[in-house]
Amino acid sequence: METKITIADLLDARRKNQKIAAISCYDYTTARLISQTDVQMILVGDSAAQVVLGFDSTLPATMDFMVTITSAVRRGAPNIFLVADMPFLSYQLGKTEALKNAGRFVAEAGVQMVKIEATGAYLDIIKTVSDAGIAVMAHIGIRPQSISKIGRFKAEATTAQMAAELISLADQMIAHGAGSLLIEGAAEEVAEIITKRCEVPVIGIGSGKGCDGQILIAPDILGLTQGPGPKFAKSYGNLAKQTIEAFNTYAKEVQSNKYPDAEHSYHMKSGELEILQKLLKDKT
């Protein structure tokens, strides 16, 4: 059986100052490819609502949808540390609901951690889920599920006051049982301070080099997303171009009757066509 990366491996990496590479991914096929790389962590992010379903925010992601895609990712990458994003309204309604939904991700999709977008209002929820034995990643900084309240995202912790608040929030998350932090869109200096003062793996997105690891969404890494994304969304390929070219070549081959050729078609066994033709002829 393949060895699975666990929280102990991530803590080891942090201790040895080895950076953790994480990817947000939403499907079996991509997960299978990631499982053949040195990436240590996959998050099944609720950004799936945008990049898979085409909504303009993460809010429409539902529990059923997230559980379905998370279990697909687990089947594709049985060896990688797997985190599921708790979608909008899966934890905001109270401790019982939060625990039930976190438990679904563990029991039905095999995740090793759940991620909760957290303010001070959710400390009890984090404690309840963590006390039940489910590891929690507290997502602080920019929290996309709050889009309707704030209108548009801007960098976090850019003043001393904001920085002190974010640092205090991080401390409280850890004190309430968070086993990891994800810091989104915060000033690099502040993310580094948080990373140094806590003892859990800290994953950053758009929060500079000082975190224990980094995460980007798979479609950005592959260059599949089009249009200007956030400043930190670096692509390492141009699969959009290659994908459009492949689809177009296929369309041209179908339209010119070049595809399917003999190599891509099934054929009757030798001599069978002649027998069939005779049969058909005898019937008429």
Binding site for ligand KIV (CB under 6 A): 24, 43, 45-47, 58, 85, 182, 184, 205, 215, 217
- To 10 degrees, what angle do helices 95-109 and 123-131 make? 40
184 catalytic per annotation: yes
As a whole number of angstroms, the distance between CA 34 and CA 80 comes to 9
Shortest CB 131 distance to ligand KIV, Å: 24
Shortest CB 215 distance to ligand KIV, Å: 5
Please identify which residue in the block is written with the tokens 């039930």. Answer: 100
DSSP reduced 3-state for 235: coil
108-111 long-range CB contacts below 8 Å, 24 or more apart?
Answer: 108/67, 108/71, 109/44, 109/67, 109/70, 109/71, 109/73, 109/74, 109/82, 109/84, 110/71, 110/74, 110/82, 111/44, 111/70, 111/74, 111/82, 111/83, 111/84
Shortest CB 5 distance to ligand KIV, Å: 18
Q: What is the rounded radius of gyration, in angstroms, for the C-alpha atoms of the chain?
A: 24
Residue nearest to ligand KIV (CB): 45
63, 70 in Cβ contact below 8 A? no
- Between 128 and 225, name the residue whose CB sits nearer to ligand KIV: 225
- Between 96 and 210, name the residue whose CB sits nearer to ligand KIV: 210
As a whole number of angstroms, the distance between CA 91 and CA 7 comes to 23
- Between 231 and 267, name the residue whose CB sits nearer to ligand KIV: 231
- Between 46 and 192, name the residue whose CB sits nearer to ligand KIV: 46
Q: Which of 184, 189, 199, 274 is catalytic?
A: 184
- Between 96 and 148, name the residue whose CB sits nearer to ligand KIV: 148
Shortest CB 8 distance to ligand KIV, Å: 23
Closest CA to 34 of 209, 213, 217, 207: 217
- Between 22 and 163, name the residue whose CB sits nearer to ligand KIV: 22
Shortest CB 21 distance to ligand KIV, Å: 13
Shortest CB 35 distance to ligand KIV, Å: 18
CB atoms within 10 A of CB 38: 6
Cα angle: 172, vertex 168, 136; to 5 degrees: 35
Catalytic residues: 184
